[in-house]
Amino acid sequence: MHWLRWRCCSGLLALASVVTSSMPIFEVSLSRGLDFTHRNSPTPQKYLIETMGGGVALLDYNNDGLLDIFLVNSGRLTSPMQTPETFDRHDPLYWNRLYRQNRDGSFTDVTAAAGLSNAGDGNYGMGVAVGDYDNDGYPDLYVTSYGKNVLYHNNGDGTFTDVTAKAGVAGVGWSVSAGFFDYDNDGKLDLFVARYMEWDTKHSKTCGGEWHTYCPPEEFPATTNILYHNNGDGTFTDVSQRSGIAAKKGRALGVAFADYDDDGFTDIFVANDGMQQYLFHNNGNGTFTERGLEAGAALSEDGRRLSGMGVVFQDYDNDGRPDIIVTELPREIYGVYHNEGNGLFTYRSLEAGLGVLSSGSSGWGVGLEDFDNDGWKDLFVAQGHVLDNVEQIDPSLHYQELPLLAINQRGRFQKADAGVSSPWAARGAAFGDLNNDGREDVVMTVLGGHPQVFLNRGPKQHWLVVTLRGTSSNRDGLGARVRVNGQTRFATTAGSYLSASDKRLHFGLGSAETAKIEIAWPSGIHQTLNDVHADQFLEVREPERP
């Protein structure tokens, strides 16, 4: 009798476990008021820019405690484009959009009121970076384009001002992902701009013979990335040459920052398309040395070049060191470069389970976030192939794909139900807690489509969200290493693809009701907080130097 009862209950437990693990974490919907449509204007000319856009940022631009959404639009293309190139963006259909989040979770389009409707006729929009470059407590926006980039200063009154000319950060060519970080630890955020290639519509071409499709990156010359040093007076100086960044030409799409060798200076990882990846080691004297190959983070395990697109530079296995995950094209497997702690990385895609999860997919925006609050960062990837006719060329591949949600089981990822059934040609992805419920949400952009909001309805476990308030360091503490109960996050808004995420640092605590917080600030100051209560949004102010 007892034996039978045990069998019965054990069976139910097993069933419950299956049900729990198969329950979708996200509820996916088009949030009220978020009426944005990305316009990429595809043409028969197959201009490469058409397939690459779709940046998104999560930021609290008005400091009301709720995350707002900024979406980058692309622009109107003519078929064929005339010389000189113009991208008509006067029509509101082609504007970038800022959506303010209301208390009820709906959004209001505040683009015009915020002064962001001047998307620029010469620009075909790509991505966005967020950072408080003047330390005034309000996040500023940097919008990248094929054409001229734009820096919008947040005036703190709900409006922005285009300060590009004064700041000297317009750039040229085809900029993609960008990010703010403080490479010289002077307390002011500098700016890195990843550029894709030397390309223009005049020199565009199609490839694939009868398939008439977009060309691979190797068909066009590589180009340099740009590093701007923040002078602290509202201007920046282009230090690409003297810092050594411009010494390496590449085909960059993604960029992420972390101090991989724990020397106190933030390093740069650049995801390059169709070539080796770049790891720019910060020498601590204003210069960088590219060390991808010698550090073991440049190629696949087999020495193959990767189609690097998005990148995240965070610790996935809770050993305290930032690892790198690069999203790529099908048949390549998303690259997992595990940080060994001695300045070296090992390729661990297979051990991490990504051989199965990614070898048939094209990944773009990517994030490592603890979606189920169990203390292990999970993986989310926005997916969809580059070529809109890829099914004709290779029926086993798909232009539109479901996003990948993979739950981290102590360093090994296992596919989970993301709560969606319709595939998209997704590109950007930004991460943050939209509804302040302690669970990380995702906003994913869709090429030529509507953005998708993934509201986290995952298990209720304990959590902690830390907001850094730098004093000696930059005001948002970007570049800080924060450890909470054995997990580590590197403070950044950059990473993913074309996108910028919430600056707040989210930690899942599992069943722990308190936490120990250890912060290594970019200034070099170390700070420890013990017995911090779980389930709160905590602002931590950097202590003054003794």
Partner 1 sequence: MIWAVLCFLLAFQGPSSEALRHMQAGTEAEKKRQFSVAITEFREVTRLEPTVPDGFVRLGQAFLENHDFGAAIPPLKQALKLSPELSAAHQLLGYALLAQGYAAEAVSHLQKTDDKAALGIAQLEAGQLPDAVVNLQAALANRPNDPDLLYYFGRASGLLSKQSIDTLLANYPDSARAHQAMAENYYVLRQMPQAEREFQEAIRLRPDTPRLHLELGLVYAGSSQWSKAEEAFRAETKMQPGNAEAAYQLGNALLQQGMMREARAELKRADTLQPEMPETLYSLGKAASLEGDAASAEKAWMKVIEIEKTSDLAAKAHFALAGLYRKQGKMEDAQREMTEFQRLQDTATRPEGPQKQ
Q: Which is nearer to partner 1, 415 or 516 (CB)?
A: 415
Residue 341 found at the interface with partner 1 (CB under 8 A): no
Residue 250 found at the interface with partner 1 (CB under 8 A): no
Residue 396 found at the interface with partner 1 (CB under 8 A): yes
When binding is defined by CB under 8 A, the residue of 221, 232, 355, 486 that contacts partner 1 is 355
Residue 412 found at the interface with partner 1 (CB under 8 A): yes
Report, in Å, the least distance between residue 254 CB and partner 1.
Answer: 22
The rounded distance, in Å, linking the Cα atoms of 527 and 519 is 5
When binding is defined by CB under 8 A, the residue of 121, 162, 198, 351 that contacts partner 1 is 351
**Kind and range of the H or E element at 253?**
strand 252-258
When binding is defined by CB under 8 A, the residue of 13, 356, 460, 486 that contacts partner 1 is 356
Report, in Å, the least distance between residue 91 CB and partner 1.
Answer: 36
When binding is defined by CB under 8 A, the residue of 162, 198, 262, 301 that contacts partner 1 is 301
Cβ-contact 129, 178 below 8 angstroms: yes
Residue 316 found at the interface with partner 1 (CB under 8 A): no
SS3 assignment, position 192: strand
Residue 303 found at the interface with partner 1 (CB under 8 A): yes
Residue 531 found at the interface with partner 1 (CB under 8 A): no
Q: Which is nearer to partner 1, 300 or 436 (CB)?
A: 300
Please choose, out of 69-77, 239-247, 347-355, 471-479, the segment that lies near partner 1 by the rule CB under 8 A.
347-355
For residue 144, give every residue at least 6 positions away whose Cβ sits within 8 Å of its Cβ, in sequence order, or none. Answer: 55, 72, 125, 126, 127, 128, 129, 171, 175, 176, 177, 178, 193, 498
Residue 360 found at the interface with partner 1 (CB under 8 A): yes
Residue 210 found at the interface with partner 1 (CB under 8 A): no
Please choose, out of 85-93, 352-360, 427-435, 451-459, the segment that lies near partner 1 by the rule CB under 8 A.
352-360
For residue 178, give every residue at least 6 positions away whose Cβ sits within 8 Å of its Cβ, in sequence order, or none. Answer: 127, 128, 129, 142, 144, 149, 191, 192, 193, 194, 255, 494
Whether the upstream peptide bond of residue 330 has omega within 30° of 0, thus cis, is no
Task: Name the DSSP letter for residue 51.
Answer: G
Q: For the chain, how many helices (H) and strands (E)?
A: 6, 36
Residue 294 found at the interface with partner 1 (CB under 8 A): yes
Rg of the Cα atoms in the chain: 22
Please choose, out of 119-127, 179-187, 262-270, 392-400, the segment that lies near partner 1 by the rule CB under 8 A.
392-400
Torsion angle of C-alpha atoms 388, 389, 394, 396, degrees rounded to 10: 60
Report, in Å, the least distance between residue 245 CB and partner 1.
Answer: 23
Q: Which is nearer to partner 1, 210 or 302 (CB)?
A: 302
Residue 28 found at the interface with partner 1 (CB under 8 A): no
Please choose, out of 38-46, 109-117, 290-298, 531-539, the segment that lies near partner 1 by the rule CB under 8 A.
290-298
Report, in Å, the least distance between residue 353 CB and partner 1.
Answer: 6
Residue 302 found at the interface with partner 1 (CB under 8 A): yes
Per the listing, tokens 């690097």 go with: 308
When binding is defined by CB under 8 A, the residue of 395, 422, 544, 546 that contacts partner 1 is 395
Task: Name the DSSP letter for residue 231.
Answer: -
Number of residues that bind partner 1 (CB under 8 A): 29
Please choose, out of 1-9, 31-39, 296-304, 364-372, the segment that lies near partner 1 by the rule CB under 8 A.
296-304
b/e 101-118 (16+ beta carbons within 10 angstroms → b): beeeeebebbbeebbbee
Q: Which of 18, 104, 61, 127 is nearest to 500 (CA)?
A: 127
Report, in Å, the least distance between residue 347 CB and partner 1.
Answer: 7
Sheet holding 452-456, edge to edge: 26-29, 452-456, 441-446, 426-432
Q: Can you spell out the DSSP letters for 138-169?
A: S-EEEEEEES--EEEEE-SSS-EEE-HHHHT-
Residue 55 found at the interface with partner 1 (CB under 8 A): no
The rounded distance, in Å, linking the Cα atoms of 122 and 86 is 5
Residue 299 found at the interface with partner 1 (CB under 8 A): yes
For residue 229, give every residue at least 6 positions away whose Cβ sits within 8 Å of its Cβ, in sequence order, or none. Answer: 183, 184, 190, 236, 237, 238, 239, 243, 286
Site residues, partner 1 (CB under 8 A): 205, 207, 219, 293-294, 296, 299, 301-303, 330-331, 340, 342, 344, 346-347, 350-353, 355-356, 359-360, 394-396, 412
